[in-house]
Amino acid sequence: MSSYQAEYSVDEQAAIDKEFTRLATNNCYCLDNKSIYLDHAGTTLYAESQVAAAAEQLQRDVICNPHTCRLTGDYVDQVRYKVLEFFNTNEQEYHVIFTANATAGLSLVAENFDFGTSGNFHYCQENHTSVLGMRERVQARAIYMLKEEQISGRDAASVASVASVNGSFKPAATLDNSLVTFSAQCNFSGYKMPLEAIAGIQQHGLPHGPGSRISGEAGMADPSHDNNFYVCLDAASFVATNPLDLQRYQPDYVCFSFYKIFGYPTGVGALLVSRRGAEAFGKRRFFGGGTINYAYPHAMDHQLREVFHQRYEDGTLPFLSIVGLLEGFRTLERLVPRSTTDGGGGGVATMERISRHVHGLAQYLEQQLRELKHPNGQHLIELYNRVGYEERSRQGGIVAFNVRTDTGAFVGFGEIACVAALQGILLRTGCFCNIGACQRYLRLDDALMDGIYKRAGRICGDYFDLIDGQPTGAVRVSFGYMTRREDVDKLLKMLRLSYLATRPQQRLQLIEEQADELPKALKEWAQRRPQLLQLAIYPVKSCAALKIEGGGANWPLTAQGLQYDREWMIVDMNGMAITQKRCTELCLIKPHIRDDQLVLQYGDLSTTVTLPLSLADQAENSSRCRSKVCRQPVEGLDCGDEVAEWLSGYLGMDGLRLLRQSSRRSSPSGEQQQQLSLVNQAQFLLVNRSSVRSLQFEESLDETVDRFRANIIIDTGTAFEELSYKQLTIGQVQFQVEGPCQRCDMICINQRTGERSPDTLTTISRLQSGKMRFGIYISRSSTANSKEQLTCGDVVLAT
Ligand SMILES: *Cc1c(COP(=O)(O)O)cnc(C)c1O
């Protein structure tokens, strides 16, 4: 219905853009292109002037431990005032306890809330896992799970009638205390809970019954009414882009993290506690540092501080970060100033404008996504939200969805993340630490959850994106104050180009054209037995291949895989492994093996550098280093200064080192690990040349094959035959199939030139209707005989 209307003036937009120039350069850890950042629900980005000002402050001032220096203590209290002002309240109404983050705030509430003997803990299904964690700490009689509707009511209007009367509801001394926790904004869907519900719950308890009991005893009393009710609001997602007015809504506890509001610093959050909420806190069971007036070592005797917040701030506060918060607030208010041109007398304040801005973008995106259809009428996007995007009071700047092919099949979110990353778009995929919301929106019943997490072994953060064709998570796009409409358009363009099916006849035509090109070769291969064509060893991770090809050429196998494969790796001055994603020139470093030495050559230049192959020669005076590859720890031996300088020189990066892995990642054992191995640690990647042939680009078939960086290249004559293999034998060696390879970050780099062409991937995705399969991961079925080898020309037998 509505189209996007800019919230900012041209000048405002220009000032904001100037703060994020780093997105236009190649400095992103996660991305390799000009970056479009769409994960503000994960963290928003800090403005460059904010961190410059913070650095300047640190350089200029001597800031001491607040326990030593009154001035720093006063400064920290100044920040408390600012926090209270930000939420339109004051120190008469709320206490500010600085915490490490929102989660630490929730944990503090769980630990200190006094449930008495019959108080209950109620939480919402659509909650962050940090709220679920409260279950382990609370000392409640019973624990109940509510559905969102049981808090908000079926229609928001009926809830809205229970407006706050701007006062706390006096708890009855004769009753025990119950605690209700929910998110002000769902970090999965962006749904905003009607905050009017808070006063209703405090006054009357739960309007729609107690929900389902998760643990503990039921007791005689009605758990939805017969207690004093307190509300803990998880505001982490909400306050990042919305104003929270604590005059109007008065939850007893509010927690959040500052990085979600202005990006920097991390490590600081706050728990706001109302006067009423403070009374429901029991005596603390821990103290330390500034939380006490005194504590005797010789007796169990201590006295907590009088000032409320001091009792809960254990140890030394992150005072250097806290003093930097003021600059964060100032930056926001400078970049998105109160507008005086509309909104009546007072104008529209910063957070209100940001809320409008992100909602406007989300509404625009949702509307565009809804209109995307395949030529056969099937919708491209399945959207996950509760009430649509019309009402800003009910929906924030988050859009969650999955992608479907023209047959209605789901495309895995892992692949969307990959394709997006290749275009420089960073978004989040999975369940976003909100399994309850995931379950709700994806309609996963409890049995299916067991199937996903217990039987299939999915864990948070992995890439088991589809199980039996059912998505286990979603794609989430979320906006911040600096997100531009062009960013949203780029995302839309990516989805259109990569996933909207072309007209059916066009696709047929494409396939026929390819068949025409190679009719003779195709026929020839069809008559042959599948065979091993080529082996590729990558001695230095991410560098060029050492190819073994031609009938009879062979290569030894060790317990880890092909001998010397990925045994060396290049790390930067921080010890981080360098991959082609960060430095495409790596593919120009060519390995040769001559006279028991590894020789590295840069491009076609004649200068080389030589390393001993024998580990014995190597170990002498080399230091040990640790690094991580694909989250797996590896331990390596440093290969010395000569090669380090050679690499730094040719790759144009200071401080590079070459490591030789001394403790190789062991091959997975046990069922659980076998599952995990799919992601990144199978021994071999096998590619079928016939499958690659069906994807022909405007380059030689060899060049395309090289892009996949496989170890074992076979040719079966039939495209995608390998995807049906379960086990196979090459020559004398047996392998089992671990699963299809969905790794796709390298394929956009031409391995001969180092040139990047993101279109490669989208073309492939298109030809395969969104199901990209580049080969299969296989591992040895038995490594008993470590003397085995593979020989080019060996027959490949699939079983
Ligand atoms: C981000 C978030 C959290 C957790 O915040 P931390 O900073 O990781 O402690 C909790 N709840 C919601 C709704 C969030 O969005």
Residue 509 has pLDDT above 80, yes or no: no
Ligand 1 centroid to Cα of residue 517, in Å, is 55
Ligand 1 centroid to Cα of residue 567, in Å, is 39
For residues 592 and 602, what is the distance between their CA atoms, to the nearest angstrom? Answer: 11
A 10 A CB-CB count for 264 gives: 21
Question: DSSP characters for 65-106?
Answer: -TTT-HHHHHHHHHHHHHHHHHTT--TTTEEEEEESSHHHHH
Residue 142 has pLDDT above 90, yes or no: yes
Please give the helix or strand (H or E) that residue 241 lies within, else none: helix 238-241
Quick one: pLDDT at residue 775?
Answer: 84
Strands (E), 517-596: 531-537, 546-549, 554-558, 561-562, 568-571, 589-594
Altogether, the residues listed in the chain come to a count of 799
User: Mean of the pLDDT values across residues 661-687?
Assistant: 52
Instruction: Answer whether 374's CB lies under 8 Å from 409's CB.
Output: no
Closest-lying ligand 1 atom to the alpha carbon of residue 127: 13
- Helices 485-499 and 413-422 sit at what angle, rounded to 10 degrees? 120
- Our measurement of the distance from residue 485's CA atom to the centroid of its chain's CA atoms, rounded to an integer in Å, reads 23
* Residue nearest to ligand 1 atom 5, measured at CA: 102
Instruction: Answer whether 401's CB lies under 8 Å from 529's CB.
Output: no
- Our measurement of the distance from residue 371's CA atom to the centroid of its chain's CA atoms, rounded to an integer in Å, reads 27
Q: Which has more confidence, 16 or 788? A: 16
Ligand 1 centroid to Cα of residue 488, in Å, is 24
Ligand 1 centroid to Cα of residue 104, in Å, is 10
Q: Has this prediction a pTM greater than 0.95?
A: no
Quick one: pLDDT at residue 323?
Answer: 93
- pLDDT-based confidence at 618, cuts 50/70/90? low
For residues 734 and 755, what is the distance between their CA atoms, to the nearest angstrom? Answer: 37
Quick one: pLDDT at residue 758?
Answer: 65
Pocket test for ligand 1, best of 39, 43, 103, 478 (most atoms within 8 A of CB): 103
Instruction: Let me know if 433 is a catalytic residue.
Output: yes
* Residue nearest to ligand 1 atom 15, measured at CA: 237
User: Mean of the pLDDT values across residues 244-269?
Assistant: 97
Please give the helix or strand (H or E) that residue 228 lies within, else none: strand 228-234
A 10 A CB-CB count for 550 gives: 10
Structure token digits, residue 81: 């005032």
Closest-lying ligand 1 atom to the alpha carbon of residue 257: 7
**Cα–Cα–Cα angle for 79, 187, 388, nearest 5°?**
120
Where is average pLDDT lowest: 27-31, 491-495, 612-616, 691-695?
A: 27-31
- Whole-number Cα distances in Å, 576 to 121, 231, 586, 619: 44, 44, 15, 22
Residue with tokens 């050679």: 646
Quick one: pLDDT at residue 163?
Answer: 45
- pLDDT-based confidence at 646, cuts 50/70/90? very high
Residue 521 has pLDDT above 50, yes or no: no
Pocket test for ligand 1, best of 44, 234, 253, 479 (most atoms within 8 A of CB): 234
According to DSSP, the residues that pair with 37 across neighbouring strands are 426
Pocket test for ligand 1, best of 129, 193, 233, 257 (most atoms within 8 A of CB): 257
Catalytic, out of 186, 431, 433, 744: 433
Above pLDDT 70, what percent of the chain? 84
Residue 674 has pLDDT above 60, yes or no: no
For residues 151 and 191, what is the distance between their CA atoms, to the nearest angstrom? Answer: 13
Residue 311 has pLDDT above 60, yes or no: yes
For residues 251 and 280, what is the distance between their CA atoms, to the nearest angstrom? Answer: 13
A 10 A CB-CB count for 659 gives: 27
For residues 143 and 19, what is the distance between their CA atoms, to the nearest angstrom? Answer: 46
Closest-lying ligand 1 atom to the alpha carbon of residue 130: 10
Ligand 1 centroid to Cα of residue 430, in Å, is 15
Q: What is the mean pLDDT of the chain?
A: 85
Query: Burial level of 458, CB count in 10 A (0-12/13-18/19+)?
Result: buried
The 10s digit of each residue's pLDDT in 191-206 is: 999 999 999 999 999 9
Where is average pLDDT lowest: 329-333, 509-513, 618-622, 676-680?
A: 676-680
- pLDDT-based confidence at 443, cuts 50/70/90? very high
Pocket test for ligand 1, best of 237, 256, 258, 271 (most atoms within 8 A of CB): 237
Above pLDDT 90, what percent of the chain? 54
Ligand 1 centroid to Cα of residue 101, in Å, is 8
The 10s digit of each residue's pLDDT in 745-774 is: 567 778 888 877 766 766 666 666 555 667
Closest-lying ligand 1 atom to the alpha carbon of residue 237: 15
Ligand 1 centroid to Cα of residue 107, in Å, is 12
Question: DSSP characters for 104-129?
Answer: HHHHHHHHHB--TTT--EEEESS--H
User: Mean of the pLDDT values across residues 269-286?
Assistant: 94
Instruction: Answer whether 125's CB lies under 8 Å from 182's CB.
Output: no
Residue 430 backbone zone (phi > 0: left; psi -120 to 50: alpha; other: beta): left
The 10s digit of each residue's pLDDT in 714-738 is: 988 777 888 889 999 998 888 999 8
The verdict on whether omega for the bond into residue 556 sits within 30 degrees of 0, i.e. cis, is no
One-letter amino acid for residue 568 of the chain: W
Closest-lying ligand 1 atom to the alpha carbon of residue 105: 9
Tell me where in the chain the CATH 3.40.640.10 domain(s) lie: 1-41+93-287+336-501
Instruction: Answer whether 572's CB lies under 8 Å from 656's CB.
Output: yes
Ligand 1 centroid to Cα of residue 409, in Å, is 32
Pocket test for ligand 1, best of 433, 434, 438, 460 (most atoms within 8 A of CB): 433
Quick one: pLDDT at residue 701?
Answer: 86
Closest-lying ligand 1 atom to the alpha carbon of residue 104: 9
Quick one: pLDDT at residue 488?
Answer: 97
User: Mean of the pLDDT values across residues 118-125?
Assistant: 96
Q: Going by C-beta distance under 8 Å and a sequence separation of 6 or more, which residues neighbour residue 505?
A: none
- Our measurement of the distance from residue 265's CA atom to the centroid of its chain's CA atoms, rounded to an integer in Å, reads 19
DSSP 3-state assignment of 31? coil
Instruction: Answer whether 173's CB lies under 8 Å from 421's CB.
Output: no
Ligand 1 centroid to Cα of residue 136, in Å, is 18
Q: Going by C-beta distance under 8 Å and a sequence separation of 6 or more, which residues neighbour residue 190?
A: 237, 362, 385, 395, 396, 397, 398, 399, 400, 478
Q: Which has more confidence, 685 or 33? A: 685
- Our measurement of the distance from residue 34's CA atom to the centroid of its chain's CA atoms, rounded to an integer in Å, reads 19
Quick one: pLDDT at residue 27?
Answer: 55
Quick one: pLDDT at residue 452?
Answer: 79
The single-letter DSSP state of residue 189 is T
Residue 446 backbone zone (phi > 0: left; psi -120 to 50: alpha; other: beta): alpha
Structure token digits, residue 702: 């060899």
Residue 508 has pLDDT above 50, yes or no: no
The single-letter DSSP state of residue 576 is P
Residue 101 has pLDDT above 50, yes or no: yes
Which range among 39-53, 513-527, 612-626, 667-681 has the greatest average pLDDT? 39-53
* Residue nearest to ligand 1 atom 6, measured at CA: 102
Instruction: Answer whether 631's CB lies under 8 Å from 624's CB.
Output: no
The 10s digit of each residue's pLDDT in 532-562 is: 999 999 999 999 999 999 888 999 988 778 9
Quick one: pLDDT at residue 219?
Answer: 83
User: Mean of the pLDDT values across residues 308-328?
Assistant: 94
**Cα–Cα–Cα angle for 330, 355, 326, nearest 5°?**
15
The 10s digit of each residue's pLDDT in 146-163 is: 999 999 864 444 444 444
According to DSSP, the residues that pair with 714 across neighbouring strands are 532, 688
Structure token digits, residue 485: 């409409």
Q: Going by C-beta distance under 8 Å and a sequence separation of 6 or more, which residues neighbour residue 698?
A: none
Q: Where are the alpha helices (DSSP H) in 652-776?
A: 671-680, 689-693, 701-707, 759-767
Quick one: pLDDT at residue 575?
Answer: 85
One-letter amino acid for residue 245 of the chain: D
Q: Report the first-to-last Cα separation within the chain, whole angstroms.
A: 55
Q: What is the 3-state secondary structure (H, E, C) of 153-179?
A: CCCHHHHHCCCCCCCCCCCCCCCCEEE
Q: What is the 3-state secondary structure (H, E, C) of 436-470?
A: HHHHHHCCCCHHHHHHHHHHCCCCCCCCCCEECCE
Closest-lying ligand 1 atom to the alpha carbon of residue 184: 13
* Residue nearest to ligand 1 atom 1, measured at CA: 236
Residue 525 has pLDDT above 50, yes or no: no
Ligand 1 centroid to Cα of residue 393, in Å, is 20
Residue 278 has pLDDT above 50, yes or no: yes
Pairing mode of beta strands 425-426, 36-37: parallel
**Cα–Cα–Cα angle for 237, 239, 245, nearest 5°?**
140
Quick one: pLDDT at residue 773?
Answer: 66
- Whole-number Cα distances in Å, 47 to 20, 157, 162, 333, 482: 6, 39, 40, 12, 9
User: Mean of the pLDDT values across residues 406-414?
Assistant: 88
A 10 A CB-CB count for 622 gives: 15
Closest CA to 463 of 408, 418, 403: 418
Closest-lying ligand 1 atom to the alpha carbon of residue 240: 15
Determine the CATH number of domain 1-41+93-287+336-501.
3.40.640.10
Quick one: pLDDT at residue 25?
Answer: 75
- pLDDT-based confidence at 127, cuts 50/70/90? very high
Instruction: Answer whether 234's CB lies under 8 Å from 164's CB.
Output: no
- pLDDT-based confidence at 526, cuts 50/70/90? very low
Q: Which has more confidence, 459 or 564? A: 564
- pLDDT-based confidence at 287, cuts 50/70/90? confident
- Our measurement of the distance from residue 748's CA atom to the centroid of its chain's CA atoms, rounded to an integer in Å, reads 22
* Residue nearest to ligand 1 atom 3, measured at CA: 236
Q: Which residues line ligand 1 (CB under 6 A)?
A: 41, 101-103, 128, 130, 183, 187, 234, 236-237, 257, 269
Structure token digits, residue 355: 């809320």
- pLDDT-based confidence at 212, cuts 50/70/90? very high
The single-letter DSSP state of residue 732 is T
